[in-house]
Structure 1
Amino acid sequence: MIKFIKNNMSKLVLLVAIIVCSFIFIVVVPSFNEIFDSLGVDLPQITKGILYLSKMWLVILLPISAIYFYIVIGKNIRIVKVLTSSLIVIFGLIILVIVIAMFMPMFYMGNIRGK
């Protein structure tokens, strides 16, 4: 057990730091938001940004955790590889259609003849 802890110390420290920061953003910062609202003062941009991040923590946490789990767990599972390849093809086709739609008016302009 001690060897396991020594080998994974950096991961454990990172996990504790993530838990502490999450607690601060979810519990502590919203209470400061109420205090600042009651004072009615204009806040610096960095403070407004932190208050905004505390409201949007789920939007930030979900993509980061999805990428982490994909890198750690999903890269060895066949169905995840197949789904990833399919999504890459689908998004590639969507981007291709968007780019073609953006340039279509330019192609039509070359075909217009004046009288």
Structure 2
Amino acid sequence: MMITLRKLPLAVAVAAGVMSAQAMAVDFHGYARSGIGWTGSGGEQQCFQVTGAQSKYRLGNECETYAELKLGQEVWKEGDKSFYFDTNVAYSVNQQNDWESTDPAFREANVQG
């Protein structure tokens, strides 16, 4: 009985800590585009840029795969004051082979208060 009574305060403390922990949701946003194309004679997909356009891409004219993954979470809140932290990681693949390595880029880290 003595051993059980010694463990009781520890068990109560652990249970109180588990019940008081809040599940914090992580916000996810993302963007991705990928071009896939071929010709009847087996050639590569051709991307083109319209004369005068600032970039060559429009929906349906992408030669590579590009994606952005954004994660954010409110990390502190007290009353009507809070801090929100979010990040943006992007990567791009040229799609010239069956398998290619990528170089992800840590594009943004923001804190809003």
TM bin (shorter chain): under 0.3
Structure that is richer in strand per residue? 2
Structure that is richer in helix per residue? 1
**TM-score where L is the length of structure 1:** 0.22
